[in-house]
């Protein structure tokens, strides 16, 4: 019995040890499988991270190239703007020079043999009340037009006129306006008076003071209706009306210009603006 009991105990212990050994092997296998899966997951994550980093790097390069392209385009556009600004300034300068040249030619044409009209006022002489009262605004109704002599201007008149005209040529429009207004006040019967009044309105237009420009040119129309500057004054009025957004009034003024002075250079420009041949 003792021998049988001892054998039973030996067999039971051996079975228990085998079972424990079997459980330990399974645990090691599971741990190994888990480690393998973790290694695979880590490898996949590293691969994906590498791909994302490369993608971001490529996108960054593309974005950098786009930014550099935009900078290049901006620089090119800035250069084109500078060229256009320069060309515009030169065009405005040429236009001012053309105005001055045309004005000089018109004054030569207007100067003719002496007529039986009152002589021009000397420098510093008082101007007629109607001119002083209305300059530089819109003249009152009923003011008779001034008779302009056909004699050449006196030396003092010419110097005053040329000084104001030089200011206009330099782009000093406030100075030109003041100079021409003083000229009209001091020499209302000068053969240059209507031209001076025209340049007042033209300088005001250059300053974008369109309402004042219209008023000045209308003063020319009333005080010097026979002046060669009347067509130019009407064209300037139409331009100012257009800048103010009054297209109806501008068209009416252009039609008036064409109807009254069909052969003038200003009428040709008016026809072009109206799309007429």
pLDDT band at 252 (very low <50, low <70, confident <90, very high): very high
**Residue 87 has what pLDDT?**
57
- Tokens, residue 207: 């300053």
Dist. CA 256–CA 205, nearest whole Å: 20
Ordered DSSP codes for 245-257: T-HHHHHHHHHHH
**Residue 66 has what pLDDT?**
80
Is the separation of the CB atoms in 220 and 194 below 8 Å?
yes
**Residue 155 has what pLDDT?**
78
Nearest Cα neighbor of 143 from 38, 221, 197 is 221
63 vs 85 pLDDT, higher one: 63
**Residue 161 has what pLDDT?**
95
Q: What is the DSSP letter of 263?
A: T
Instruction: Note the pTM of the prediction, 2 decimals.
Output: 0.52
Q: Over the chain, what is the mean pLDDT? A: 77
Dist. CA 276–CA 150, nearest whole Å: 35
**Residue 2 has what pLDDT?**
64
Ordered DSSP codes for 97-110: HHHHHHHHHHHHHH
Q: Look at residue 187 and tell me whether its pLDDT is greater than 80.
A: yes
CA 240 to chain centroid, in Å, comes to 17
Distances (CA, A) of 143 to 128, 130, 146: 11, 7, 9
Q: Look at residue 115 and tell me whether its pLDDT is greater than 50.
A: no
Of the candidate ranges 68-72, 107-111, 181-185, the one whose mean pLDDT is the lowest: 107-111
**Residue 213 has what pLDDT?**
97
Q: Mind listing the pLDDT tens digit for each residue in 81-90?
A: 755 665 566 5
Q: Which residue matches tokens 């100067």? A: 111
73 vs 145 pLDDT, higher one: 73
* Residues in the chain, total: 277
């Amino acid at each position: 019995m003792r021998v049988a009991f001892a054998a039973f105990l030996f067999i039971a212990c051996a079975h228990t040890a085998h079972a424990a050994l079997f459980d330990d092997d399974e645990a090691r296998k599971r741990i190994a499988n888990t480690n393998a899966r973790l290694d695979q997951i880590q490898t996949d994550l590293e691969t994906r991270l590498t791909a994302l980093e490369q993608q971001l790097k490529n996108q960054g390069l593309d974005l950098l190239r786009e930014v550099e392209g935009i900078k290049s385009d901006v620089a090119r556009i800035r250069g084109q703007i500078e060229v256009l600004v320069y060309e515009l300034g030169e065009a405005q300068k040429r236009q001012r020079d053309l105005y001055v040249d045309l004005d000089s030619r018109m004054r030569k044409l207007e100067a003719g043999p002496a007529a039986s009209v009152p002589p021009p006022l000397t420098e510093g002489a008082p101007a007629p009340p109607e001119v002083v009262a209305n300059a530089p605004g819109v003249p009152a109704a009923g003011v008779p037009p001034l008779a302009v002599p056909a004699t050449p201007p006196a030396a003092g008149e010419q110097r005053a006129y040329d000084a104001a005209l030089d200011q206009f040529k330099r782009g000093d429009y406030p100075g030109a306006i003041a100079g021409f207004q003083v000229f009209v006040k001091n020499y209302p019967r000068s053969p240059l008076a209507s031209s001076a009044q025209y340049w007042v309105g033209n300088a005001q237009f250059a300053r974008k003071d369109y309402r004042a420009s219209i008023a000045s040119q209308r003063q020319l129309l009333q005080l010097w209706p026979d002046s060669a500057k009347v067509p130019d004054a009407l064209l300037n009025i139409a331009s100012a009306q257009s800048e103010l957004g009054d297209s109806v009034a501008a068209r009416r003024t252009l039609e008036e210009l064409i109807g009254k002075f069909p052969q003038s250079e200003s009428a040709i420009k008016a026809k072009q603006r109206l799309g007429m041949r």
